[in-house]
Amino acid sequence: DTAVSQTPKYLVTQMGNDKSIKCEQNLGHDTMYWYKQDSKKFLKIMFSYNNKELIINETVPNRFSPKSPDKAHLNLHINSLELGDSAVYFCASSQLATSTDTQYFGPGTRLTVL
């Protein structure tokens, strides 16, 4: 009965490959997010969806493409992986699409690009 789950937990791949990370939340929330956490623990928002509609699209290479098939799922597809994409990627959700609402985070996916 995990609230926000992500798969896989670890992902090791070669440069140039394409990979996807999946996220699901069972909290009934309307809003979901993708964050990137670098090696210095800095947390950067990448995307956010509210009821399957994109509401935050930060300055992220267009190799990154989010997809929200329904409001309980938000997946992240990354094309042509680069060394600099190595990081921990966190999915999160909140009930409201406002910055004042509490966010619930998944356990993270550690991506290593070799």
Please report, as ranges, the residues that interact with another protein according to CB under 8 A: 4, 40-43, 45, 48, 50, 55-56, 90, 92, 97-100, 102-108
C-alpha gyration radius of the chain: 13
- For the CB of residue 42, give the shortest distance to another protein in the complex, in Å: 6
- For the CB of residue 78, give the shortest distance to another protein in the complex, in Å: 19
Distance CA 82, CA 71 (A): 29
Residue (of 70, 111, 77, 112) closest to 93 by Cα position: 70
Q: Closer to another protein by CB, 62 or 102: give it.
A: 102
- For the CB of residue 4, give the shortest distance to another protein in the complex, in Å: 7
Residue with tokens 């990154």: 64
Q: Closer to another protein by CB, 49 or 64: give it.
A: 49
Q: Closer to another protein by CB, 28 or 42: give it.
A: 42
Residue (of 37, 36, 34, 107) closest to 76 by Cα position: 34
